[in-house]
Amino acid sequence: MREIASGPPPRRIFEVTTAERALRCGMACRILDAGAKLAMAVETLPSPQLPAAAEGSLHLLFTGWRLTGLGFAVEPDGCFALPLDPAMSTAELRPLVDPTFPSPSPLPFTMADLRPADRIEAAALELCKLAGLLPAALVFGESGRGEPHVAAEADLVSIFAYRDWIARSVQPVVEAEIPLRLAGKARFVAFRPADGGAEQYAILIGSPAAEEAPLCRLHSECLTGDLFGSLRCDCGEQLDGALRRMAEEGSGVLLYLRQEGRGIGLVNKLRAYRLQMEGLDTVDANIHLGFEPDERDFLVAATILERLGLPRIRLLTNNPGKVDALARHGITVTERVAHSFAANRHNRFYLETKARRSGHLIDLAPLRDRRRGQA
């Protein structure tokens, strides 16, 4: 396996990791650019009162996606700031950023109250995402008169570079042989990132490196589907089906990627499920939470394939976005191999949404036939 070139100084990685941890714990972090501001995650605010802040500096930060979900005509990829009255309570803020709470009607602000976020404010939202929290933050200036204790600080450039740093930093830690029920003998290789966070896994069936373009599956972690057999998605069937297919062909590699819920994390995926029970589809549920429809990035998958010496693959997927993403990162996909499974009454709408709104290449005719059969 190939070694990687030296990355950024470990101190800068540690600073961002510590800052996102501070947000998860309800503490403030300082974000540095030409100036500096303090940031806290709305989801974990520790007090019913808003933090003390320099007069006029307290702002609530939204993603454009969240504002789109609230009905505002804004650029979805943008970030926006709303000035706050310090007398507001955290209970009043929560429904503005978390759609699992009833939104106030009418909303207590209009488009005229919003302004585009500056670079530091946008970095605060990125930190919330890195921390696995709802992308909503309080940002305020320091006056030295009673602000919350600052638990960490990180510079803006490091925050925005962090995802790529971590994806490119993965290195193999250990390899072990494990016999699998669906695929027979397999080798598991664990890859650890430089921040010491969640490991990624490559499951090797046979000798994929001996193939010109081995069969490959990029499988995003799904606790509910992979482990508990959830019927709301087809993830468990895709995982099992990929291993069976590789066993039939005699070789292949499955990358088990730690990006639950299209990259928003398990807690936020459960929030999205709540919204789907109220009638939203999977795309709109993510948007209402303030996320992009799909937050995943496949640079880490390309990096692992490169480390394994697999620059050319046949990709087992219905998602052409994966093909495009790997190509951007230097991996050649010689063939897209279809990977569909029959719908059930719980996941039919989910699969139709993937085809209709996310561009997945799923044949909807069998889904319609199955619907008539269940009528």
**Catalytic site residue from 12, 296, 307, 314:** 296
With H, G, I as helix, E, B as strand and everything else as coil, classify residue 250.
coil
Contact 67/114 with Cβ under 8 angstroms?
Answer: yes
Residue type, 166: I
Question: What are the tokens at 4?
Answer: 């990687």
Cα-only R_g, the chain = 22
What are the C-alpha distances in Å from 231 to residues 99, 286, 339? 24, 19, 17
Element (H, E) at 121: helix 119-130
Can you spell out the DSSP letters for 269-338? HHHHHHHHHTT--HHHHHHHHT--S-----HHHHHHHHHTT--EEEEE-S-HHHHHHHHHTT-EEEEEEP
Cβ-count burial of 126 within 10 angstroms (0-12 exposed, 13-18 middle, 19+ buried)?
A: buried
Q: Among this protein's residues, is 348 annotated catalytic?
A: no
Element (H, E) at 39: strand 36-41
Q: Among this protein's residues, is 294 annotated catalytic?
A: yes
**Catalytic site residue from 294, 324, 345, 363:** 294
The one-character DSSP state at 227 is I
Query: Known catalytic residues?
Result: 294, 296
